[in-house]
């Protein structure tokens, strides 16, 4: 598999809002955080940044489990993240709580998460370059 370059075009929409559009024409609305003049009606860049972590982790978990012919009946990823209070206000701690249901054992889930967080999800790996990233899982 060859990873293609990512192309994203952002168009100013007025106020503090933009529309991002990828090379396939998919559009994502973006607004500034309320304290920076945004309206609080659509996600801000930090919301998308954290959501992209959760999405990447979730997709990679599903791919690894599918290699074992396992499809979870439930998968939830809660992310708790704190930022430094001085500039640059990067994330200093990120913790993921993965809750999953299905026919799988604890070791498989643990190994899947370690592989996902340290190798398979590039967003998690990038977060770990700048932050303390931890995770836990719950099988229900």
Q: Please write the tens of the pLDDT for every residue from 70-90.
A: 999 999 999 999 999 999 999
Tokens of 73: 């009946």
Closest to 139 measured CA to CA, from 115, 109, 113: 109
Domains in the chain: boundaries: 1-43, 46-139
pLDDT score for 45: 96
Domain 46-139 is in which class? alpha beta
Tokens of 62: 């599903």
Q: Please write the tens of the pLDDT for every residue from 7-19.
A: 999 999 999 999 9
Q: Please write the tens of the pLDDT for every residue from 96-123.
A: 999 999 999 999 999 999 999 999 999 9
pLDDT score for 41: 95
Q: Phi-psi bin for 135: left (phi > 0), alpha (psi -120 to 50), beta? A: beta
Distances (CA, A) of 81 to 92, 129, 140: 8, 15, 24
Residue 88: alpha-carbon gap to chain centroid: 20
Distance CA 94, CA 102 (A): 26
Q: Please write the tens of the pLDDT for every residue from 30-72.
A: 999 999 999 999 999 999 999 999 999 999 999 999 999 999 9
pLDDT confidence band for 1 (50 / 70 / 90):
confident
């Amino acid at each position: 598999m060859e990873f293609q370059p990512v192309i994203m075009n952002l168009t100013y929409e007025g106020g503090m809002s933009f529309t991002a559009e990828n090379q396939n024409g998919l559009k994502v609305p973006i607004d500034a955080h309320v304290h920076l003049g945004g309206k609080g009606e659509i996600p801000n860049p930090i919301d998308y940044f954290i959501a992209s972590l959760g999405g990447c982790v979730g997709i990679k978990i599903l791919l690894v489990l599918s290699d074992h012919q396992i499809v979870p009946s439930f998968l939830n990823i809660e992310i708790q993240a704190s930022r430094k209070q001085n500039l640059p206000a990067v994330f200093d701690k990120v913790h993921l709580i993965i809750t999953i249901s299905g026919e799988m054992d604890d070791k498989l889930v643990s190994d899947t998460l370690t592989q996902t967080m340290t190798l398979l999800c590039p967003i998690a790996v990038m977060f770990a370059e700048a932050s303390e990233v931890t995770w836990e899982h719950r099988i229900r």
